[in-house]
Structure formats: C-alpha cells, structure tokens
Amino acid sequence: MPVPSSITSNQHIVVLGGGVIGVTTAVTLARQGYKVTVCARDLPTDSESTGFASPWAGANWATFASKYDYRLQRWEEHTFKQLWNLIPTGHVMELPITVYKSEQGIKDLWHKHLTPNFRRVHPPCAKPGVSGAAFTSVSLSAPDYLQHLYKTAVQLGVGFIRKSFNSIHEPFQGAHGIPTADLVVNATGLGARKLDGCNDPQVMPIRGQTVVVDAPNVKECVMALDSSYSSESAYIIPRPNGQAILGGCFQVGNWDTEVDIDMGQRILERCFELNKNLSPTGKFEDIKVVRHNVGLRPAREGGARLEFELLEDPQGFDEGHPVVHAYGIGPAGYQCSWGMARDVFNLVDEHLKPTRSLDMVATTDSIKQSANTTPRSCPVAPTTTRSRSSSQRWIPQSPIISPQTVLI
C-alpha cells in the first residue's frame, strides 16, 4: 500500500543491490516514507542470473547463529516473525524441520521459545556424536518470493534501475539519470569486494549446489550431516510451489558457477536416503529432476557488515557521502532479511532524521499506526555500529559462519 504523501520524505536513498537484502531494505525504507531507488546489475526479476545469490537460495529458516551471536539471533528472530506473518499470503509456507548435527550443536540451538513445537529427536540411524532436534519453521521459493518483494516495492513507489557501478560515490553525482542520492545503502553482496569506496577484501563466495525436484508429497524438511565428502551435506527443503530443493555443499572461496554433475548425483542419492517420498514411485530413477543449480553465497570473513560510514567525497564537492553498508550475510540472507533491513532503517533514520521537515516529525504516530511498518523507536543494536572513516572498520564479535557450523 503506498504511503500517504503527507508522510513522504524528500530525501532520496539509493539502494545498491537488487538481492533479497537490497529489496527488503527498499520496502522497509519506502514504508517509512523515504524515496527509494534500487540500482543493481542484477534485478530481482533476473531469476536465471548467477551474478547474484538471491535466486538460488533454498530457502528456509534454520538458524546459523551461534549461542552467543546475539546480533544474528536478533536478525533471525525478527525475520522469523515477519515470514510467519506472510504464511497466509501463500508466499511463505509453514514447515516442519528436523536437523541432525553434533550433540553440542543441538544443545546450543537458541530458538526453543521462538519456533513452535521445538523438541529433541533421535537420528534414524545412530551415528556417534550426532543428535537431532525438530521444530516448526518456514520456507519459501526464492525466485517467487523475490518477485513478490519486487512487486511490493514497486507498489510502494520504489524505482528500479539496471546499472553496474564501479564506485559507491557514483549515486551521489546525479549521473545516469538517477536522482542524486542523499544516502546510499550498500547491499551489493559479493560486489562489495570490488566496489570502489568499499573494496572489502574480507568478502568471499561460499559456493552452493542444489537440485530442484518435483515432490508434492514431501512435506517435511530434513537437514543432515554427511561426512563422506568434505564440505558437502544433505538437506531437503520443500517449497510452497510443490517443488523441493535438495542440497548441498558449502565450498568456501569457490567462484565456480558451473554445475558439477557428479555432485548433483551425490546430492540426489543422499537426499533419497533421507526421504523416499522424493520419488512418486519410491524408486530412485523416478525422481523428477527439474534442474540443477549453483549459487554463490555472499559471505564475509568476520560476519556480515552492517554499519554507517561517512565517506569523504573523492572530488571534494560534498561534505561527505553517507553510506549504510549491508552485505556479507553469506548463507542466511533470507532468514535475516527483515532484521537487517530494520537495522539499516534505524541507521538511515538516525542520520537523515534531523533534516526532515516538521510535518514529517509530526506524523510519526500515523506512521506507527500504518500497517506493516517498523516502529521508529526500534533501538539500534549495540553490535550494529556507526563509523566515521573507512579506516575505522567495525569488527564483529562473531566469526564467519564456518563450514563446521553449517554442515548439518
């Protein structure tokens, strides 16, 4: 629903990046009255592009946050609630999940009070050191959900422009027919590695390969450890459209977007072991393969970067170029999307609010009351920081999400 003009802001925000983080952020900012343009090399409708991660996700909600990673937990918790609320729309599906991982990994699961029906379960075949937990969660079909987000953004007045940028400063120069930015949100995923003004060497891919199958009879998600091949695991994620996505692998630093057919076969075999209903007849050869996929998760050594930075204008015209970085979420972009977008909004608002008109301030209550909005009073988390120069980089407390953490 478009916001009433009385609460719109004249300040223009350019979101660099059309993946799930960029578009969810654009929706969140537009709902709060900001003028937003998403500029990206790959747009959310490019469901066949391996140039970005978002079309290739599972995607379900299954935590990647360690016991003490409160920032990631907060993003995941907020997003879980938002996705749960979307179940009636049909874009998100309620989903029973069983995870098998180390005994300690199961003990450390922090979301017992968030995800319904949480309980301990025994693995079907006893493997030493492996334990299990089951709970109710959600899944979505990533390409369909991206379309839904895109349509929502367009309805809110968000503009979309296909454009590849060399520098984070370009949107401040009013070039390429894009209205000059008052602030840029950097949601470029792996692009943050080479984007001038950011050039983050800690950004790196984590390659994931999956197989999409028609499996309307599969109603449960299973995620299990398989240690026969390093960096490979087994998971089955049913989607709202009757398909299921089977995985997978977690290859840190691998940029290869070609399908490895042998790996695809191993994925099918491992997942069939987990659930024979993947085949309508119960025979392996009758599994209906729709396609093989490869996607590169945009990860970052040290964890995702979400912070405000006032960059110097390299040309010296402007007092500074305000940027909110939001990249490097790796394997958890969908399940963190609304939480990250809320933190981005808080940082944007903190920076731009003083220059808003009085009318804008006076309508705060009406904004709070409007449907689907994030309250303005959301505190910025202590672990989500501001910095004033690129040399003062924020270093998160949590390490990169390691393959060990992810191989479940």
User: Binding site for FAD: what residues are annotated?
Assistant: 188
Supply the minimum distance, in Å, between the C-beta of residue 390 and ligand FAD.
Answer: 17
372 near 31, Cβ under 8 Å?
yes
Q: Which stretch binds ligand FAD (CB under 6 A): 14-22, 111-119, 150-158, 213-221?
A: 14-22
Q: Per-residue contact track with ligand FAD, 43 to 62, x per CB under 6 A?
A: --------xxxx-xxxxx--
Give the whole-angstrom CA distance, residue 296 versus residue 402: 15
Residue 398 has which token pair?
A: 């949590």
Which is nearer to ligand FAD, 9 or 264 (by Cβ)? 264
Contacts of 349 (CB under 8 A, 6+ apart): 32, 376
Beta-carbon count within 10 A of 292 CB: 18
Q: Does 150 bind ligand FAD (CB under 6 A)?
A: no
C-alpha dihedral, 71 to 329 to 90 to 109, nearest 10°: -50
Q: How far is CA 356 from CA 96, 343, 363, in A?
A: 45, 19, 11
Residue nearest to ligand FAD (CB): 191
Residues between 209 and 238 that touch ligand FAD (CB under 6 A): 210
Binding residues: 188, 297
Confirm or reject binding of residue 298 to ligand FAD (CB under 6 A): yes
Does 407 contact ligand FAD by CB under 6 A? no
Q: Please report whether residue 208 would count as binding ligand FAD according to CB under 6 A.
A: yes
Is residue 330 within 8 Å of residue 206, measured between CB atoms? yes
Q: Which of 31, 42, 223, 338 binds ligand FAD (CB under 6 A)?
A: 42
CA distances from residue 274 to 81, 214, 267, 268, 288 in whole angstroms, order as listed: 29, 16, 11, 10, 16
Closest CA to 372 of 15, 86, 147: 86
Q: Which is nearer to ligand FAD, 134 or 192 (CB)?
A: 192
Closest CA to 56 of 296, 299, 252: 296
Burial class (CB in 10 A: 0-12, 13-18, 19+), 220: middle
Of residues 202 and 370, the one with the C-beta less far from ligand FAD: 202
User: Of residues 323-352, which lie at the interface with ligand FAD (CB under 6 A)?
Assistant: 327, 329-335
Interacting residue with ligand FAD among 189, 197, 238, 240 (CB under 6 A): 189
3-state DSSP helix/strand/coil percent for the chain, to nearest 5?
30, 25, 40
Q: What span, in angstroms and rounded, lies between the C-alpha atoms of 330 and 64?
A: 10
Single out the residue of 183, 163, 162, 164 nearest to residue 172, CA to CA: 183
Q: Does 366 sit near ligand FAD (CB under 6 A)?
A: no
Identify which of residues 42 and 182 has a Cβ nearer to ligand FAD in the complex.
Answer: 42
Between residues 3 and 236, which has the closer beta carbon with respect to ligand FAD? 236
Sheet holding 183-186, edge to edge: 159-162, 35-40, 12-16, 183-186, 321-327, 305-311, 385-387
Figure out which of the listed residues 109, 195, 218, 274 binds ligand FAD, where binding follows CB under 6 A: 195
Residue 80 CB, nearest approach to ligand FAD (Å): 11
Site string for ligand FAD, 231-270 (x = CB under 6 A): ----------------xx----------------------
Please report whether residue 205 would count as binding ligand FAD according to CB under 6 A.
no
Nearer to ligand FAD, 208 or 240 (CB): 208
158/187 with CB nearer ligand FAD: 187
Residue 333, phi then psi, degrees to nearest 5: -65, -40
Q: Tell me if 41 contacts ligand FAD by CB under 6 A.
A: yes
Name the minimum Å distance from CB 374 to ligand FAD: 19
Q: How many CB atoms lie within 10 A of CB 108?
A: 15
> Which residues fall in the annotated binding site for D-dopa?
297
Of 74-113, which residues contact ligand FAD (CB under 6 A)? none
DSSP per-residue string spanning 11-23: -EEEEE--SHHHH
For ligand FAD, which residue of 10, 117, 164, 389 counts as binding (CB under 6 A)? Answer: 164
The site that binds ligand FAD (CB under 6 A) totals a number of residues, namely: 42
In angstroms, the Cα distances linking 311 to 71, 107, 359 are 25, 43, 29
Instruction: Kindly list the residues in this chain that would bind ligand FAD in the complex (CB under 6 A).
Output: 16-22, 40-42, 51-54, 56-60, 164-165, 187-191, 195, 208, 210, 247-248, 295, 297-298, 327, 329-335
